[in-house]
Amino acid sequence: GDLSLMVKAGVQWGLFGGAVQLLGTGRHHQRYLRDIIDVSLPGCFAMTETGHGSDVQHLGTTATYDPATGEFVISTPDPGARKDYIGNAARDGRLAAVFAQLIVDGTNHGVHALLVPIRDTDGHPMPGVLIEDCGRKGGLNGVDNGRLSFRDVRVPREALLNRFGDVNADGHYTSPIASDGRRFFTMIGTLIRGRISVAGTAGSAAKRALALAVAYGNQRTQFERPDGSGEVTLLDYRAHQRKLLPALATTYALSFAQYELAGALDEVSRPAGNAEPDERRQRELESRAAGLKAVSTWHTTATVQACREACGGAGYLAGNLLMTLKADTDVFTTFEGDNTVLLQLVAKGLLTNYQSDFADLG
């Protein structure tokens, strides 16, 4: 019901917890997951930067390994590299999964995630960590979005979430995936739960708006019937039906697609027996998650507006929730990936599959 609460929960368990689970290994799971689950360790997912939103591969934050101390040095080299719009950062987060360019012995191995303490147990910023509040937003003001900057903050070597890349004590980098590009897209591809959650939450908001507008339209009357038998119920007007009923049907369809997508995520995440993960199914899942997130959030934006108009002035009253839904869902088209960029990802996936289907033909 409350979208600010959903976003804070999604940051804690889906993004922050998901990064620890999916990008970390046993040492991180044992040390952190229980405390993340019961929220005794509130955290954040520090990916987006002031200068880089959709272009994650070229983030500016650096994590440079110092072999003399066995530590990574986290730095924000310029204002464009500060972590921006980070949920849970302005007030509650104590540990952040920070995405940074991993530099070892002068070589940049691309974006990796590290766990960086940003507050002590009393809530004070850690040395070298600058925390700012992003300020009041158009909606979702129950979420403490903040900005993070790092001034040579040192974390131990074990802070690296090392499922896809690791650094030993001597400063030697290893990875099970040789290609920097493939490693990056494999890592990012594991973090699709957020997109699936955003699509589902957008769908819930559309359902809520339609439940209000359809109920209102089925009770409210306006204008006398030609035969003088009373006023006409709004939903008897063809124009009113065309506002709400196609949106209702589309919401049902997207809801069915959402349930199917969640089921596919479960299957891909837990392959039967000891089977290796199916890379093609993973790519298809990423593509479907991107497409459904884009389509669902655009649909919700249009649907909530149609519902607001269908309820007239009553729809503009804050107590009737439609304006709150409108404000809180507007940013859904932007976070977890800009919708236009996500549809380009869908197109790339379709073309890649098409190419592989015909690769053996002369």
Q: Is the dihedral of CA 42, 197, 349, 268 positive or negative?
A: positive
**Predicted confidence (pLDDT) at residue 309 exceeds the cutoff of 80:** yes
**Minimal CA–CA distance to 15: which of 153, 154, 198?**
198
**Predicted confidence (pLDDT) at residue 338 exceeds the cutoff of 80:** yes
**Predicted confidence (pLDDT) at residue 60 exceeds the cutoff of 90:** yes
* pTM higher than 0.85: yes
Res 186: pLDDT: 86
Write out pLDDT tens, residues 171-208.
999 999 988 888 988 888 888 888 999 999 999 999 99
Res 162: pLDDT: 96
CA distance 21 to 30: 10
Write out pLDDT tens, residues 215-274.
999 999 999 998 989 999 999 999 999 999 999 999 999 999 999 999 999 888 877 666
Most confident region among 295-299, 343-347, 349-353 by mean pLDDT: 295-299
Contact 247, 206 (CB under 8 A): yes
**Predicted confidence (pLDDT) at residue 352 exceeds the cutoff of 90:** no
Token code pair at residue 176: 């099970």
**Minimal CA–CA distance to 162: which of 128, 112, 110, 198?**
112
Res 349: pLDDT: 86
Helix or strand or coil: residue 101?
Answer: strand
CA distance 325 to 211: 13
Contact 188, 50 (CB under 8 A): no
Write out pLDDT tens, residues 19-48.
999 999 999 999 999 999 999 999 999 999
Percent of the chain at pLDDT exceeding 70: 98
- Helices (H), ranges, 218-335: 238-269, 279-310, 322-329
Residue 154: φ, ψ to 5°: -100, 135
Percent of the chain at pLDDT exceeding 90: 81
Gap between the terminal Cα atoms of the chain: 55
Mean pLDDT, rounded, of the chain: 94
**Predicted confidence (pLDDT) at residue 362 exceeds the cutoff of 70:** no
Write out pLDDT tens, residues 123-167.
999 999 999 999 999 999 999 999 999 999 999 999 999 999 999
Task: Return left, alpha or beta for 206; rule: phi > 0 is left, psi -120 to 50 is alpha, else beta.
Answer: alpha
